[in-house]
A and B are shown apart, each in its own frame.
Chain A
Amino acid sequence: MTTLLETRSMSRYFGGVQAIHELDLVVQSGVIHSVIGPNGAGKTTLFNVVSGILPPTSGDVLFDGTLISELAPHRIAAKGVTRTFQNLQLFSDMTVLENVMVGMHLNSKGGFFASAFKLPSVWKEEHRIRSVSMDILEFTGLEKYASTVAGSLPFGRQRVLEIARALGAEPRLLMLDEPAAGLNNRETSDLSELIGRIRDRDITILLVEHDMDLVMSISDLVTVIDQGRKIAEGDPDVVRNDKNVLKAYLGEE
C-alpha cells in the first residue's frame, strides 16, 4: 500500500478557535478510511482544507507526495481529489445528467472558441461526455432521473447525485461528507453498497459520517478526532472499544 493523502501537523484556526490542531493523518490508497468524531470535531474543516476551499493556518497537505495546500480548489481537483458536500451543493437548476456532465469537466475538452463554432471535435466530445455521464448514472442507479431537474429530486437521490457528479471527475481520492445524513435505512444500505463498488473501481474513499453502523461496517480504517485533535485510530473493532473514544462521545465517567 502507498500513501495517497497526508497531512503533516496541519492546523486550521478561526480566530481563537482551533478547528484542527496539528493533525497528522495518513490515508493509504485503495481503502475506505473514515474520520469520525463528535459535532464540532473539525471533520468538515479537514475536508475544506484538503479540497483547497480553506488554506491551512499552518502545516502541510500532501497528495501523492506533492504539496497541495497552497493550490486553488480546481488545481487540487486536477490532481485527482474531489468531494461531496454535507449541505448539498448541487447545480439545482440543471438536470441530473447535466450535473454529472459538469462533473466530467476535467476529463473533457472544449474551450470558448471551439464551443462557439461547434467544431467537429466538439460534436464528438459532447457525445462522449453524454454517454460516459449516462454510464455513471446507471452505476449509481439514477438513470431514470437523467432529465429531471436536480433541485426537484427526492432528497435521498440528491445525496446520491452529489456522489455521481464527483465520480464524473474520475478522482483518485473521493471525500464524502456525511453522505448518509437524512437518509432512511433502505437508502443507507444502498449507499453502503455503492461506496463499496466505488472502492472496487480503485477510488480511495475518505468518509466523514455520523451513522456508526455504516462506518463500522464498511471502513478499513477509522480515525477519531475530537476538538481538532486525533484521539484514536485503527480497525473499526479497535476504535469501538477505545477508552478515549468512549469518553469523547459519552463524556467523562
Chain B
Amino acid sequence: MKTLLWFRNPYMGFMLFSVLIMGLPLVITNQYHLGVLVIIAIHSIIVLGLDLLMGYTGQISLGHASFFGLGAYITGVLSAHWQWPPLAGLAVSLPVVAVIAWLIGMPTLKLHGHYLAMATLGFGIIVFIIFNELGPLTGGPSGLTGIEPMNIFGMTFDSDLEWYFLSMIFLLAVLLLSINVVRSRVGRALRAIHGSEVASGVLGVNIARYKVGIFVLSAMYAALAGWLYAHYITFISPSSFTFMFSVKLVTMVVIGSLGSLWGAIFGAALLTSMPEFLYVFHNYETLVFGSILIVVMIFMPMGLLRGIEDLIAWSWHAARRRLSSDGGEELS
C-alpha cells in the first residue's frame, strides 16, 4: 500500500496542517463558511477518537453521539441553571463521561465479539430518552436555552473568527495527542490487538485494559467536542444527539480511512460540509450518504483518503510506464 511521503512522518504532516489551518482565514472570510469550519473542527475531534477506537483497535461504538451529547448537556445545564463558567463545566463533564464509558466498556470489552456496538447502541437510546424526559433540567424535546457563551480565563469568544481559532486549537491539540498515542507503545499494542488478539495476548498485552482505555479516551474526546458545541451554539436539543448522528460519525471514520488520523479529519470535513454543497437534496440526505458509503466500500474499501492516494500513485506509475514505452528509455 503506497502512501504519500508526508503522511509517513505525521509530525511533519502536523506542522504543515497547522500552518494551513492558521492561514485559512486569510482566504475564507465569510462568517458562514467560518461557522461551518468550526463545526468541522468539533466533528473532527469526535471522529479522531472514534478512529482510534475503530480504525486502530477494531472496536465499534454506535453511541458516540451520546458522549458528545453528555459533554454538551453537563456543561449546558451547569451553565444555564447555575451560571457555572465553561471551564468548570468541562472539569465536571470529562471525568463523568470517562467513568460512564468505563462502566460500559468494562463488562462488554472483556467479551469476544462486537458486544460494545450493542451496548453503546442501547446506551445511546437511553441517553436520548433522558435528554427528552428530564424536562426541568434539560428543557426536554424543545431544548436547553441560556447557555453562557465561551469564556476562558476572562477571554470571551463571540465572533466566528475567534471561534475558528479556538476550535482549531483544540482540534490541533487533540490531533497531536492522538499522533503521540498512535506512535507509542500504547498505539502499537492497540494495532496489535486489531491484528491478532491471540498473538498480542501471548506477548503480554492486557487486551481488555487497552480496549477499555481507548474507549474511555475516545468518549472523552467526544465530551470535549460536546463542551465546545454547547458554548458555541449556546442552545442544545436532543435532536442533535440521536442514533443517526452516531451512525454518521461512524460513516465519517469509514469514508475518511480507517486507521488514518488524517483520514478521520478528511471524513469529518467531507461529511460535515457535504450538506452545504448538496442542499438541493436535503430531503434525501440519508439516501445520498448511504449511497456514498456503498460506493466507497465497493471501490475504495480502505476509505477515500487511501483510495485517492492509491489512485495518484497508480496514475503516476501508469504515466511513467507510458513515457518509458513511448520514448523507449527507462526513466530513473
Decide: A105 and B196 in contact? CB cutoff 8 A. no
Q: Which residue of A lies closest to B180 (CB)?
A: A118
Q: Which residue of A lies closest to B177 (CB)?
A: A116
Q: A138 an interface residue at 8 Å Cβ cutoff?
A: no
Decide: B201 and A73 in contact? CB cutoff 8 A. yes
Return the CB mask of B194-225 against A: 1 if under 8 Å, else 0: 01101111111111000001100100000000
Q: B265 an interface residue at 8 Å Cβ cutoff?
A: no
Q: How many whole Å from B106's CB to the nearest CB in chain A?
A: 15
Decide: A112 and B195 in contact? CB cutoff 8 A. no
With A74-B204, A90-B196, A102-B200 given, is the CB distance from A112 to B188 under 8 Å? Answer: no
Decide: A74 and B205 in contact? CB cutoff 8 A. yes
Decide: A94 and B180 in contact? CB cutoff 8 A. no
A149 to B191, CA, bound (A): 13
The segment out of A26-34, A162-170, A224-232 that lies at the interface is A162-170
Interchain CB contact (< 8 A) of A103 among B191, B203, B214, B217: B203
Decide: A53 and B203 in contact? CB cutoff 8 A. no
A118 to B179, CA, bound (A): 10
Chain A residues with Cβ under 8 A from B214's Cβ? 112
Q: A64 an interface residue at 8 Å Cβ cutoff?
A: no
Q: A183 an interface residue at 8 Å Cβ cutoff?
A: no
Q: How many whole Å from B136's CB to the nearest CB in chain A?
A: 37
How big is the B interface, by class? 20 to 34
With A90-B196, A122-B184 given, is the CB distance from A102 to B189 under 8 Å? Answer: yes
Among A74, A83, A169, chain B packs the most CB atoms within 10 A around the CB of: A74
A113 to B207, CA, bound (A): 17
With A94-B192, A102-B189, A112-B213 given, is the CB distance from A126 to B184 under 8 Å? Answer: yes
With A110-B184, A116-B177 given, is the CB distance from A52 to B217 under 8 Å? Answer: no
Mark out the residues of chain B between 97 and 122 whose CB falls within 8 Å of any chain A CB in the assembled complex. none
Mark out the residues of chain A between 168 and 187 whose CB falls within 8 Å of any chain B CB in the assembled complex. 168-169
Decide: A112 and B181 in contact? CB cutoff 8 A. yes
Decide: B198 and A102 in contact? CB cutoff 8 A. no
Q: A106 an interface residue at 8 Å Cβ cutoff?
A: yes
Decide: B181 and A116 in contact? CB cutoff 8 A. yes
Decide: A110 and B185 in contact? CB cutoff 8 A. yes
Q: A92 an interface residue at 8 Å Cβ cutoff?
A: yes
Chain A residues with Cβ under 8 A from B204's Cβ? 74, 77-78, 82, 105-106, 169
Chain B residues with Cβ under 8 A from A109's Cβ? 185
Mark out the residues of chain A between 82 and 110 whose CB falls within 8 Å of any chain B CB in the assembled complex. 82-83, 85, 89-94, 98, 101-103, 105-106, 108-110
Q: How many whole Å from B56's CB to the nearest CB in chain A?
A: 10
Chain A residues with Cβ under 8 A from B201's Cβ? 52-53, 72-74, 77
Decide: A73 and B185 in contact? CB cutoff 8 A. no
Chain A residues with Cβ under 8 A from B178's Cβ? 116
Q: How many whole Å from A113's CB to the nearest CB in chain B?
A: 10
Mark out the residues of chain B between 157 and 199 whose CB falls within 8 Å of any chain A CB in the assembled complex. 177-178, 180-181, 184-189, 191-192, 195-196, 198-199
With A94-B191, A101-B188, A115-B187 given, is the CB distance from A166 to B203 under 8 Å? Answer: yes
Mark out the residues of chain A between 20 and 77 whose CB falls within 8 Å of any chain B CB in the assembled complex. 51-53, 72-74, 76-77
Chain A residues with Cβ under 8 A from B191's Cβ? 91, 93-94, 98, 102
Q: Which residue of B lies closest to A83 (CB)?
A: B202
Decide: B185 and A125 in contact? CB cutoff 8 A. yes
Chain A residues with Cβ under 8 A from B198's Cβ? 53, 73, 85, 89
3 closest residue pairs by CB, A with B: A73-B201, A91-B195, A115-B184
13 contacts between A and B (CB under 8 A): A74-B206, A77-B201, A85-B198, A89-B196, A90-B195, A90-B199, A91-B200, A94-B188, A102-B191, A105-B188, A115-B185, A116-B177, A118-B180
Chain A contacts to B: CB under 8 angstroms = 51-53, 72-74, 76-78, 82-83, 85, 89-94, 98, 101-103, 105-106, 108-112, 115-118, 122, 125-126, 129, 149, 165-166, 168-169
